Structure 1
């Protein structure tokens, strides 16, 4: 027991000394350029393009060796996408409006615009390799997994169109065009948790007061399809990011 306590105290001492000399903490902020990626043949998942949103958080890096760091972050991350034109709509929520025995197609089709805005709290754990070019500038690359928790999810639609039974828009389902202008809270249709990978490449600039600026270009990708119901599509989150940050060393 004595040897165990001695070893434990020695370990805590050396860890505290190492951390006191090789910990960096800071803040970062920038832009996220997300795009929903289709992960199935479901027509609802197709046709998304990129939008822009904020990306910011706090960061801590622990020096493991001359070149390697363990970096943890807590980020507010924008995800989502937009599309415009011909779109598929799941008929599942509307089947009760048809008489029993009616052959209702799996999807309806209409022409309108759509944006999905998803905001996550993400916790990445990264390994960072940093190489000093000189006393001021360094190059680094980082990568690792993250866990995300959905904070909000909204669907913004606009435009007027009839709703059709077929993709060729030859069989109208309504006597007149419908107005698609709406902002809908869809958080109950989206999985709250996601896991994925994050990575980046960047440069750092050391200052005289044991601090530094850094600029990172990177991206992330979520492994879990976001929709709870496959009828609403099967899409994965993914985004390119450009980040400027400041860290202080201790």
Structure 2
């Protein structure tokens, strides 16, 4: 009798483990990343370069709509460190000035290539929609180990501990992750997905510019449920039937509202793309959210000294001030939250109203600076081409109001094509004029800058069934 009880207990325990094991998904992923340094000081420009990212993961399903994910992935961040602007100079003796003559030097610039490889352990919590085609979005944290051989391998023994402490990078890094993905369940065991994520270092990693690591990543992968007993895991409940996925991309016309120098900030053309989720709340009312990439910014064309914002030089500096033509580009990860009111049957139109929250991914200014010098003997023109980080000028977040109109038409049995017009009004000053911030080394006074953007998007609405 005692033996039977023990065997019964073992069978029950094993059955429970199998039941829980069915909630596990294991898989592999592979893709690319674009490095991004979030820094305070602009001694040089860290240009984003593509690098590999790959790894393995494990997911555990928490109820019907949430899952916990971890794993191990390897990411290599490449940086093109532009240390000097490239330039050319024209020099003319005043007595024989001829604009058709030139003593131009060949364009020159200096760069330094570097890379850092990390073994990264993430832990994220995600929300997942039901259905054969589903959408995941969530966030979490990671801890990473530097794996460069020159810093961890036997070559490090060639340097003293004092030298390593002063010149070697940190051996560890940690930070935050935001991630979203689109998944397709091939059957009860196999699935494929495309995932996009951004990472933010929590602590300073590049001491010379007080910079933190970061990246934008795109991966593709395969998931496998080894313990699934051929019981369909694709939910067909009423909630799943009330969810739609919207994939969209298009152009974005961006400008700013400035409290003091509005006419000096020019319109800029950028891109917008992303994935949205629409949750049907009633017959014609829905809630819309998602994750969008938006390139906002503005143009400058004035006589002054600053590449990223308009700063009128004082009278004594005005005579020799260079002519600056600059494009300021601000890359944001935007999370909208809007109410959606739908009208029509076959041709559907909708009005959306709500708000947004944006995280600044990258800020830089690129363009041309023309300086002119004259004296009794000579006339000299110098043209400098710059591509500078502008992180120190702008706040890390933005919030505002969104208003949009969308019209769609069914072109497939499984999807509608739509055209989407979206207008956003920033309500938060994006200019970093906090005197306590080390990067804000120029006094911008009381000036405030607010984002304004109009986007025209085209995309597909895919119901989750």
- Asked if these proteins are the same fold (TM beyond 0.5), I'd say yes
Q: CA deviation at 1:27?
A: 0.3
Partner secondary structure for residue 236 of structure 1: coil
When residues 146 and 27 of structure 1 are mapped into structure 2, their CA distance, relative to the original with a 3 A threshold, is same
| Cα distance change, pair 205–150 in 1 and its aligned pair in 2 (3 A) | same
Distance 1:124-1:208 versus aligned 2 partners, 3 A rule: same
Runs of 4 or more consecutive aligned structure 1 residues displaced over 4 Å after TM superposition = 9-15, 185-188
Aligned residues: 183
5+ long unaligned stretches in structure 2 = 1-9, 86-107, 151-163, 228-465
Cα deviation for residue 35 of structure 1 reads 1.8
> Hey, what does 2:23 align to over in structure 1?
22
> 1:135-161, CA deviations, whole angstroms, 9 ceiling, x for partnerless residues?
x2001112100000001177xxxxxxx
1:241 to 193, 217, 224: 217
Q: Which residue of 2 aligns with 1:119?
A: 117
- Asked if structure 1 preserves the Cα contact closer than 8 Å seen for 2:68 and 2:126, the reply is yes
**Counterpart pick for 1:216 among 195, 215, 231:** 195
Aligned 8 A contact 2:174 2:202 in 1 = yes
Larger mean CA deviation between 76-85 and 16-25 belongs to: 76-85
Is the CA contact (8 Å cut-off) linking 2:49 and 2:80 kept in structure 1? Answer: yes
Cα deviation for residue 85 of structure 1 reads 4.7
Which residue of structure 1 aligns with residue 275 of structure 2?
Answer: none
Higher RCO (C-alpha under 8 Å, 6+ residues apart) = 1
Structure 1 position 197 matched with structure 2 position 176: yes
5+ residue gaps, structure 1: 1-8, 88-109, 155-184
Indicate how the Cα distance of structure 1 residues 214 and 235 shifts in structure 2: closer, same or farther if over 3 A, else same. same
**Root-mean-square deviation (Å):** 3.0
Decide which structure has the larger Cα Rg and report it: 2
SS at match of 1:36: coil
Conserved 8 A contact 1:213-1:247: yes
Matched, 1:54 2:30: no
Q: Match of 2:127? A: 129
2:77 corresponding residue in structure 1: 79
